[in-house]
Structure 1
Amino acid sequence: MPVKYNVTERKNLQDPQAAPKFYASAKADGEVNLKSLSKEIAGGSTTVSDTDVLAVLNDLIKVVSRHLADGKIVKLGDFGNFQVSISSDGAETAAKVTSSLIRNNKINFRPGADLRDMLSTLKYEKYSR
């Protein structure tokens, strides 16, 4: 199934006099939650139940959160890597940089080879209502 996209008009904020241009923007087509993923994973196996898979995935979230909070890179093999990144306000000297200048944080995900390969083979389809 192809990835759907909308067409959106955007102004050039660096050149307000320029004519707006139109861009493709990915459109989500539904969602999949942890419970349905666990059922799907269990369906491909004869030895584990969806409840067992869900329990493992819930524990994975807990331990990944704990290790990220400890400043570690979490490497999940072919799935990819997670790492916390921060942004801060600047200071005049290195000595003046403290945690009080940190204004934002986020989790970066770097996909593994299989997910990167999937991106190179995606098909696209314009979303129509």
Structure 2
Amino acid sequence: MSIKYNLRQKSQPGVAGGGQKKWYAAVAADGELTIDDLVKQIEKFSALSEADIRGVIIALENVIVDQIVNGKIIRLDKLGSFYPSLSSEGVDKEEDFSTAKIRNAKVNYRPGKRISDALSTATFKKKD
């Protein structure tokens, strides 16, 4: 299998009028997997039942939700890490900062080595 891509033409960022447009590759999603699909795939590699696998996935989601809002980094060994990050307005003086300056919080994901390595050996094919 290959990662499929399309080409998109983009302007140069930060250049008035867009500057010279160039073509860039962008992933063309080739479907998606739902929790049902994941459960069926995991069943092939496990002695656990469908209900047990589904229960673990839902419990994992609940634990991540509970912990990420407390600023924890969730390390899932070879899967990678989830961690919170913030975006805020800047202020000139530390004492001028308040939580009102925080615009949003989001979750970042950093893949584990095995996942990163898999992508480094991926092949690519232009989507028809």
TM-score by length of structure 1 reads: 0.93
The correspondence of residues 90-109 of structure 1 with structure 2, limited to 5 A, is: 90-109=90-109
* Residues 21-41 of structure 1 deviation map (CA, whole Å, 9 limit, x = unaligned): 111111100000111101111
The correspondence of residues 60-99 of structure 1 with structure 2, limited to 5 A, is: 60-99=60-99
The correspondence of residues 1-129 of structure 1 with structure 2, limited to 5 A, is: 1-15=1-15, 16=17, 18-45=19-46, 47-128=47-128
Segments of 4+ in structure 1 off by > 3 A?
none
Identity rate of aligned residues, in percent? 34
**1:17 Cα offset (Å):** 5.8
**1:19 Cα offset (Å):** 2.4
* Residues 37-65 of structure 1 deviation map (CA, whole Å, 9 limit, x = unaligned): 011111222x2111210110011000011
SS of match in other structure, 1:78? helix
TM-score by length of structure 2 reads: 0.94
Which structure 1 segments of 5+ residues have no match? none
What is the RMSD of the two structures over their aligned residues, measured on CA atoms?
1.1
Q: CA separation in 2, counterparts of 1:17 and 1:59?
A: 47
Change (3 A) 1:17 1:64: closer
